[in-house]
């Protein structure tokens, strides 16, 4: 009963702070629309990110006060708020996102996702996504691309334009390469060659690198491990997660990692080989975590 009450309280506080941060974002977004001058826009973008960061700081504080979860970290040296990052992480639970925001807030530029264009029309949230410069893309089906291959180039170009703001404002773009949350059933269905991971989707990362047009300089490879079991959001919010382990390493994003994934066969093979190599290393990191947990 106490765990459920705690989860309700944590969720209520999340909801209240989300509503509260909407109003300053709305205020700043109006000025963003009315004054399109580049120097002013740069400062507005930074102010909007600051609002989002303060929202996360309060939520981090309430989690640290209300929840007993201890998060052990490795490799958090040399992070910067002035760097352009692409973050890649394994994905097991909605808790992953809370943990990532909790640990990286204030250490790197505010984390943003590539979003489908349809999400713009979600009441309140769609407006906030737009105001905070989340990059939007319109993805086409395989059938549409086969009939109109020129749409692929338009998708990249449209997304690049939405990313122009990041040329002068550092950003962190996150990608969950598995494309879905890990479950043993999905692992078995895929017949994944990895012990603790689903097969990575290299195309999404390649798209992000191409859309950002060389602006992303470092890859943050995040590995999340839950020693007890993979928790649900409600278990985490109710204080049922004692320990989480997170390993971080930085890899350079070199120019050979940027190319046309759909049209350049040689580039695609090389990129897939690069992805498979560091995915194997991530799998080994999780294996080491599992062995340590059994000791």
Task: Kindly report the pTM of this predicted structure.
Answer: 0.86
Residue-level pLDDT at 271: 93
Mean of per-residue pLDDT scores for the chain: 86
Going from N- to C-terminal start, the domains of the chain cover 71-294
| SS3 state of residue 213 | coil
- Sheet holding 85-89: strands in order across? 70-74, 243-252, 218-225, 85-89, 172-175, 111-113
Architecture of domain 71-294: 3-Layer(aba) Sandwich (3.40)
Q: What would the pLDDT profile of 130-158 be if each residue is shown by its tens digit?
A: 788 787 766 655 666 566 666 566 666 66
Most confident of 23-27, 167-171, 217-221, 262-266: 217-221
Q: What would the pLDDT profile of 232-262 be if each residue is shown by its tens digit?
A: 999 999 999 999 999 999 999 998 898 888 7
DSSP H or E stretch at residue 59? helix 38-66
């Amino acid at each position: 009963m106490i765990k459920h009450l705690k989860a309700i309280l944590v969720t209520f506080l999340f909801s209240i702070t989300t509503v509260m941060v909407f109003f300053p974002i709305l205020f700043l977004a109006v000025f963003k629309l009315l004054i399109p001058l580049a120097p002013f826009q740069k400062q507005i973008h930074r102010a909007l990110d600051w609002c989002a960061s303060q929202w996360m700081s309060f939520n981090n504080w309430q989690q640290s006060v209300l929840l007993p979860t201890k998060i052990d970290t490795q490799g958090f040296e040399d992070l910067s708020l002035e760097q352009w990052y692409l973050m890649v992480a394994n994905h097991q639970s909605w808790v992953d996102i809370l943990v990532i925001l909790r640990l990286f807030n204030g250490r790197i530029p505010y984390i943003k996702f590539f979003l489908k264009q349809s999400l713009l029309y979600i009441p309140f949230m769609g407006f906030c996504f737009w105001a905070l410069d989340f990059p939007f893309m319109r993805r086409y089906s395989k059938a549409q691309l086969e009939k109109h291959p020129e749409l692929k180039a338009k998708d990249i170009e449209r997304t690049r334009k939405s990313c122009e703001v990041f040329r002068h404002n550092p950003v962190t773009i996150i990608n969950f390469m598995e494309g879905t949350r890990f479950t043993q059933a999905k692992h078995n269905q895929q017949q994944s060659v990895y012990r603790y991971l689903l097969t990575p989707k290299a195309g999404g990362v390649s798209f992000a690198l191409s859309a950002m047009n060389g602006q992303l300089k470092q890859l943050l490879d995040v590995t999340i491990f839950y020693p007890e079991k993979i928790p649900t959001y409600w278990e985490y919010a109710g204080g049922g997660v004692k320990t989480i382990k997170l390993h971080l390493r930085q890899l350079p994003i070199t120019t050979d990692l940027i190319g046309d994934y759909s049209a350049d066969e040689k580039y695609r093979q090389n990129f897939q080989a690069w992805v498979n190599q560091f995915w194997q290393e991530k799998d080994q990191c999780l294996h080491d975590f599992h062995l340590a947990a059994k000791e």
